[in-house]
Structure 1
Amino acid sequence: MGGYYEGDDHSGYRERRALPVLNIPTSVIVAGLVIWSALSLGAWWLVDPVLSWISGAAGPLADTGAGLAKWFGLGEEATALRDAANIEGLLGWAGGSIHFLVKTVVLLVWVAGLIALIAIPAVLRRGQRRQ
């Protein structure tokens, strides 16, 4: 009753048609690695200026907050809190740790992307074999 289909061996199974193999040229992978590395290097170089800007802006921002609190009638309490918190000292103390952590994260993200870009062709080939 069933009709005859091309590739049908009359046992209920059809042969799979070969799917085209997706080959990514090596030059595309290398270009991706170069672009990924350039982006990561840019992020690496931006860590120092951004952290410097944050630490430099902390004092004036704390003064602005104290001035705003003074405008609402809480000036003495806000000034005492700002002085007790010692924002500049706190950022100077934590700056080295933050610098180390941020640069480590940039490095780990770069390595993860590098591994992913190198593994893409193998993963795609493996996926093609399963189908």
Structure 2
Amino acid sequence: MSKTTHKDIVPATDEAAKVADIEARTRPLDTDETRPAACKHGHVPLTDTVGDPIAQCANADGRTEWGAFNTEGCFYVYDCAVDVSNASVVENLAAQSPPDDPESTWSRICPDHEGQPADACSECDADYQDHEQ
């Protein structure tokens, strides 16, 4: 499976109407004075963002990557949590996923296993299970 880059999120095909509909339904999150409106990369989270990607971005060490995941696995990797969370939102809107059961989620990538979510890495879990036996 090939990885999507940040330039591939919006298709260059004739799906312009679909993209326009998604763009019309997405807008930056409302913010208050205690939280910055954008991450350190200047990206603004979309309204349907789950979690706090701005804080994740702020706490990154420069080597951290995040990934957007769907039922087929990791479909997008980038070094900005906000950018990846936005890719997940766009994927969910395109798939018409209900907010309480999203098809796409985002997470930090496991530093030891490419394409695996850090908090639920199946390879780390398998390594742990082998070590326990």
More helix per residue: 1
Q: TM-score, normalised by structure 2?
A: 0.24
Larger Rg: 1
TM-score normalised per structure 1: 0.25
